[in-house]
Structure 1
Amino acid sequence: MTRTIYAPIIEECLSSTPYLTGEAFSLADAYLFVMIGWDNYWKMDISVYPSVQRFHRTVASRPSFQRLLEIVQPALEHIQLPRFPPVNAPPGLS
């Protein structure tokens, strides 16, 4: 799948910074987080990419994301969308 070719590039980028564009969280990080968190759509195993896994844990543990989950989780129970994996669940295993 085409997305698979980008994983090594993303891994390399995240190996030297906490977020895609450096030290600060950006919209690009929010989008990447959603894509790797919804492995039904991402369609690849990221367990071989430690920096991507670290990135997922970092974003999932942000207080703003935790607040977002509190708000949207009740609505997600009524629609057919994949759920965000728990913070401690390895991506690709949700």
Structure 2
Amino acid sequence: MKLYYLPGACSLSPHIVAREAGLPLSLEKVDAKSKRTESGRDFLTINPKGYVPALELDDGEVLTEGPAIVQYLADLAPASGLAPAAGTLARVRLQEWLSYITSELHKSYSPLFAPHTPAEVREERQAYLERRYGLIEDVLARQPFLLGERFTVADAYLFVVTNWSKAVGLDLSAFPALLDFQKRVAARPAVREAMAAEGLLKAAAA
């Protein structure tokens, strides 16, 4: 399998999941502006949507959309416990969290990265994110991960998205349980390996 990625973007989530699951994965970086991959391919011929992540399977099929990809990867390695079994209420709870993160957090960060976003829009999005993080703070104050005691693909996604707060100047100091969660996930060996592979750490042991 090959993951098309942008360092530190939402594609870091399936990258982490693959490493957590022990799945072999090759990486190919995408240039967001030119829409070319590092091998020179036109990324739009791989994913017409034009954004990462895209997961190219061994048979040539391509999967897009992070929440779908991480569930697919978790199901390839069920013993990893990265996703509850399909058809269970716990699996629906996982999908509930993935939907919340993608719609309420992920997309709310987008205008904060755009240089020409008006100040009033920026302030509104930051306030919106703070309200949405309030619910997550309440959950993480009671348990180490979103679904309880076990790390799942939802935690990988939350970690990656929340890591963007530093880049956009979003102050999360009012959410100590969330910040503890970020540190806890950042310390996981698979997470460090993925971040190092994307050039986000000097080395996996740094």
With structure 1 as the length reference, what TM-score do the two structures score? 0.69
Whole-Å Cα distance in 1 between the matches of residues 192 and 162 of structure 2? Answer: 17
Partner of 1:91: none
Q: CA deviation at 1:45?
A: 1.3
Which aligned pairs between 1:36-55 and structure 2 lie closer than 5 A?
36-39=162-165, 40=167, 44-55=170-181
RMSD: 1.7
Q: Give the match's secondary structure for 2:198.
A: helix
Which aligned pairs between 1:2-17 and structure 2 lie closer than 5 A?
2-17=128-143
Which aligned pairs between 1:8-87 and structure 2 lie closer than 5 A?
8-39=134-165, 40=167, 44-73=170-199
Higher relative contact order, chain-length normalized (CA < 8 Å, sep 6+): 1
Q: Which runs of 5+ in 2 are unaligned?
A: 1-124, 202-206
Matched residue type, 2:181: F
Once the two structures are superposed, what CA deviation does each residue of 1:4-46 show, in whole Å capped at 9, x if it has no partner?
21111010000011111111111111111011111135x6311
Q: Give the structure with the larger strand fraction.
A: 2
Structure 1 runs (4+) greater than 3 angstroms displaced: none
Whole-Å Cα distance in 1 between the matches of residues 132 and 170 of structure 2? Answer: 11
Whole-Å Cα distance in 1 between the matches of residues 197 and 159 of structure 2? Answer: 18
| Count of aligned pairs between the two proteins | 74
- The structure with the larger Rg is 2
Matched residue type, 2:189: P
Q: Which runs of 5+ in 1 are unaligned?
A: 74-82, 85-94
With structure 2 as the length reference, what TM-score do the two structures score? 0.33
Identity level (%): 32
Once the two structures are superposed, what CA deviation does each residue of 1:26-78 show, in whole Å capped at 9, x if it has no partner?
1111111011111135x6311111100100000000011111122221xxxxx
